[in-house]
Amino acid sequence: MPKISEKGVFMPASPIRKLTPYADQAKKEGKKVYHLNIGQPDIATPDVMLDAIKNIDFNVWAYTASEGTLAYRLKLTEYYNKLGYNITPEDILVTLGGSEAITIAMQTCVNEGDEIIIPEPFYANYNGFACMSNVVVKPILSHIENGFALPPIEEFEKLITPKTKAIIICNPNNPTGYLYAKEELDELKALCLEHDLFLFSDEAYREFCYDGREFISPMHLEGLDEHVVVLDTVSKRYSACGARLGCMITKNKEVIKSSLKFAQARLSPGMVEQIAGAAAVDTPDSYFEEVNKEYTLRRDTLVSRLNAIDGVFCPNPGGAFYVVAKFPIDDADLFCQWILEKFELNGETVMMAPATGFYSTPGQGKNEVRMAYVLNTDDLNKAMDCLTAALEQYPGRKI
Amino acid sequence: MPKISEKGVFMPASPIRKLTPYADQAKKEGKKVYHLNIGQPDIATPDVMLDAIKNIDFNVWAYTASEGTLAYRLKLTEYYNKLGYNITPEDILVTLGGSEAITIAMQTCVNEGDEIIIPEPFYANYNGFACMSNVVVKPILSHIENGFALPPIEEFEKLITPKTKAIIICNPNNPTGYLYAKEELDELKALCLEHDLFLFSDEAYREFCYDGREFISPMHLEGLDEHVVVLDTVSKRYSACGARLGCMITKNKEVIKSSLKFAQARLSPGMVEQIAGAAAVDTPDSYFEEVNKEYTLRRDTLVSRLNAIDGVFCPNPGGAFYVVAKFPIDDADLFCQWILEKFELNGETVMMAPATGFYSTPGQGKNEVRMAYVLNTDDLNKAMDCLTAALEQYPGRKI
């Protein structure tokens, strides 16, 4: 029997999805499971987007240009320029999800064996994409005590070697919800200019900023045109995770030209998705206002319920729809499995993502858990009732 | 300014798409361009598939399971078991196009630096995917004189080293249209068993077999369950290239388990596509009968017109919708550019793909061109009128 590859062995499993068999088993046993593990919002996709799908009027479901249709890239340009990005359609590569934007950016910009610095905890799949591209992730620890703010820039300096090629930030952050301030981005800018590094800016959660705070992108910073590569997706913005439609944006002509070769190899992004994505740009502002009001309410509910539990600490995040909280437990992986397998409150339980999978340094995040507040406040409250009771009963409780 | 990666430099450009700027320029000058360069059929997508898109009735465009929805995998199982593959939904990984099936299969099964043997000419993007995965392609020359039949198995034996991990066949073949016979597959089977190799079977053109000939898959061969990995797509079967919906099928449990980790990293295939793909399984047989009748007519038209040109030789292929023909020219790349740039017949010209891009051995295919017969016979005849005249006038003509 032929053997699978070493990469096939070492490729990390998804920390968000690895407990799925336990959740499935719990459901089989009749338990209701509140899913706080995955960033799949329950928010409705905008009507303009769904209507665009229903109203397709082609006969041949054909390939599009590898870089995406001009029609879609023009609409995207309109969207980004409203944000002040000052781009043209030629600066955009349309991708099959934000995931593909990340892989193409890594393959285009970073040599094998070279290094990317990422503040941890970070979006777990960066590890998988780095593994696929033989890129070395150099984590830099951020801390729950200050809400996972950008680590001091001297800590970055210490990690920089001749192999360092890029820094990835996710802003607002998945998994921490931290929203980077202008000062933090300015520090990163100086660092990237000094050491000639790419700055990958994962902006999947751009629309989700709370308490009147403003989103700032490295695209807003002057003098960084050759360094910034934006990684984006329609998944969260329009609650359209199943569209698999993202894009990569950069004003660096060498990067966009080379990335097109990777895009040509896989031929084309989805045609229907690009039609829907173009329509989505006309989503009314009221949609985002309502959604942000709803998420603010959910965040406030979740954070206050969490901090009311004895021994739990959860910072109040400025954006996205995740929190990372510290629990009085021995091991988040064991706890998240136990609550599915051994616990129930009135026939209900909760699925969460152990934070260990979001750290690349072994041993970090062992008493931390990521939760996505993608459920309505009633369900969130019931999930917190479960969690409160579970933390009292958990045999691995630690004070 | 930060530099792009070495991979970004060495990644091959698509031979099918690299002449696009010349075609665009020809169109700007008012020429009509017949596109024989790309396998984008003009055949209508089945109504059942388009209706499924128009009739979507969800509110949240959500992620699906990383391996694909159970509903879609059940319909696929129905489709494949009608062909005699004898599989279960657990043997299927749904992918973002056949392209992703190829990359995931390579990453899962072949170590970096290890080798895959592929009869050449072959689907050009195998080169790109191999480059992305650091897999070494070992080409084995097939010959236009015998219609690009499988090279003698002794030629494969000669190439096998401890690093050889897999063989890829594309059947019916892109770019040659060659349809492998049972005897050829049996020889490959013996070879894979003896040397414990994976057999990747790219079956994108399974539905397109002519002259009453039967399609045979390695899935039909006994004793090869652990070795066969089928790479498939709905692109050509249902003329749905823009759907970006494919799959990988294998009964090798280690392979399917490991491939799921790569699939989890990119989260999910498209949701709307899977709904449409499930509906497409119910496409009536009459659709395929009509399509095959049409392609047979086109093939006959193209092949007879080509062979009627002085100095041209084109084998009559048994499947797919491509031919590779030999022209009396110095250099196919120059000729295919020249016919777009410098030639016209009554304001019309032709875009073709130089065959050089389908060979991995430098210098091979220099007087060969790939054509896709994806146009109706009227247009094909006009394209052949252009080609006939062009070959008379071409300054690089060789007898």
Residue A14: pLDDT band with limits 50, 70, 90 = confident
From the list A43, A242, A254, the residue facing B271 with the nearest CB is A242
Question: Above 90 in pLDDT, residue A313?
Answer: yes
C-alpha span between B215 and A364 (Å, rounded)? 54
Is the model more confident about B373 or about A14?
B373
CB contact under 8 A, A197 and B44: no
Q: Which of A1, A7, A168 has the most B C-beta neighbours within 10 Å, making it the best mutation to test the interface with B?
A: A7
Whether the CB-CB separation of A99 and A231 falls below 8 Å is answered with: no
Chain B residues near residue A109 by CB distance under 8 angstroms: 2, 4-5, 8
| Half-sphere exposure at residue B142, Cβ-oriented, CA atoms within 13 angstroms | 27
Is the pTM higher than 0.90? yes
Chain B residues near residue A99 by CB distance under 8 angstroms: 265-267
Q: Is A307 helix (H, G, I), strand (E, B) or coil?
A: helix
Q: Is A198 helix (H, G, I), strand (E, B) or coil?
A: strand
User: What mean pLDDT is predicted for residues B359-383?
Assistant: 96
Chain A residues near residue B11 by CB distance under 8 angstroms: 107, 258, 261-262, 265
Whether the CB-CB separation of B37 and B352 falls below 8 Å is answered with: yes
What kind and span of H or E run contains B180? none
The torsion angle over the Cα atoms of residues A213, A218, A223 and A229, rounded to 10 degrees, is -160
C-alpha span between A156 and A227 (Å, rounded)? 17
What type of residue is B134?
N
User: What mean pLDDT is predicted for residues B201-208?
Assistant: 98
Residue A286: pLDDT band with limits 50, 70, 90 = very high
Task: Assess A270–B contact: CB distance below 8 Å, yes or no.
Answer: yes
Whether the CB-CB separation of A345 and A112 falls below 8 Å is answered with: no
Question: Above 80 in pLDDT, residue B17?
Answer: no
* N-term to C-term CA, chain B: 51
Closest CA in chain A for residue B196: A2
Question: Above 80 in pLDDT, residue A399?
Answer: no
Cis before B175? omega within 30: yes
Whether the CB-CB separation of B195 and B141 falls below 8 Å is answered with: no
Residues 226..245 of A with a Cβ closer than 8 Å to B: which?
Answer: 226-227, 238-244
ipTM given for this complex: 0.95
Question: Above 80 in pLDDT, residue A15?
Answer: no
Task: Assess A217–B contact: CB distance below 8 Å, yes or no.
Answer: no
Report pLDDT for B63. Answer: 95
Cis before A284? omega within 30: no
Chain B residues near residue A55 by CB distance under 8 angstroms: 54
Q: Is B6 helix (H, G, I), strand (E, B) or coil?
A: helix
Residues 26..45 of A with a Cβ closer than 8 Å to B: which?
Answer: 38, 40-45
Task: Assess A266–B contact: CB distance below 8 Å, yes or no.
Answer: yes
Question: Above 90 in pLDDT, residue B18?
Answer: no
Residues B205-237 pLDDT 10s? 999 999 999 999 999 999 999 999 999 999 999
Question: Above 90 in pLDDT, residue A261?
Answer: yes
- Looking at chain A, the whole-number percentage of residues with pLDDT higher than 90 is 93
Task: Assess B261–A contact: CB distance below 8 Å, yes or no.
Answer: yes
Closest CA to A291 of A205, A350, A217, A359: A205
C-alpha span between A304 and A299 (Å, rounded)? 8
Question: Above 80 in pLDDT, residue A221?
Answer: yes
Residues A79-136 pLDDT 10s? 999 999 999 999 999 999 999 999 999 999 999 999 999 999 999 999 999 999 999 9
Is the model more confident about A179 or about B39?
A179
CB contact under 8 A, B265 and A14: yes
Query: What residues form DSSP beta bridges with B138?
Result: B117
Residue B16: pLDDT band with limits 50, 70, 90 = confident
Rounded to whole angstroms, what are the CA distances from B64 to A38, A240, B37, B264, B293?
Answer: 12, 11, 35, 11, 37
Closest CA to B161 of B200, B118, B115, B196: B115
Task: Assess B69–A contact: CB distance below 8 Å, yes or no.
Answer: no
For strand A246-249 and strand A92-95, is the pairing parallel, antiparallel, or unpaired? antiparallel
Report pLDDT for B217. Answer: 98
CB contact under 8 A, A66 and B17: yes
Which tokens hold the place of A159? 């990690």
